[in-house]
Amino acid sequence: MKKRNKQNAFATIFSAMLATVVAIALVSCDNELDVQQGYPFTVETMPVPKRIVKGETVEIRCELKREGRFSDARYTVRYFQPDGKGSLRMDDGMVLLPNDRYPLDREVFRLYYTSECEDQQSIDIYFEDNSAPAQLFLLSFDFNNEKKDDAENDTGGTGRIPRTGGELVKNPLVNIETVTVCE
């Protein structure tokens, strides 16, 4: 009988432990999948000339670098021109209008900026994803304009981005005005 009591006690303890493990397992389960939909990204560029002449076009070679992949991620590009006057176009020929957002359908692309004045110019190019909240990445370029005579005497530029090379913008800008200095 002693042996039977030990077996019953062991069975009871084992059953209680098993029931506890099953209860913990069921309570800790979550049927929801945790899918990350927004990954940080940057846009890298090749060096860009800092001197430009009215009518001259500079090429900005860009590559979108994403830290992760989400199949529904969409990116857009837009630009502002706080100083000077010029135009920006994509490598497929589409001319971008200031403050308008355009879809970015590839990760390696080129932008072409054409100077339309003889003063110093700057452009801010914003890249945005469709995550919630949206992430912005800023590229800023300053161009020192020069007359054609000065351009011939320029033996070399640094070929670097004069202002910030790119930064993650945490708060989107609202109500930005484009200021045209030369008309």
Tokens 């069975």, residue located: 11
35: confidence class by pLDDT, cuts 50, 70, 90: low
Q: Check if the beta carbon of residue 168 is closer than 8 Å to that of residue 39.
A: no
Rg, C-alpha atoms of the chain:
29
**pLDDT score at 182:** 43
Which residue(s) pair with 52 in the sheet?
145
* H or E segment and range at residue 45: strand 41-45
33: confidence class by pLDDT, cuts 50, 70, 90: low
**pLDDT score at 28:** 60
**pLDDT score at 108:** 96
pLDDT for 36 beyond 60: no
| % pLDDT > 90, the chain | 48
Q: Check if the beta carbon of residue 48 is closer than 8 Å to that of residue 140.
A: no
25: confidence class by pLDDT, cuts 50, 70, 90: low
CA distance 77 to 124: 11
Tokens 């359908």, residue located: 105
Q: Check if the beta carbon of residue 126 is closer than 8 Å to that of residue 137.
A: yes
Regarding pTM above 0.85, the answer is: no
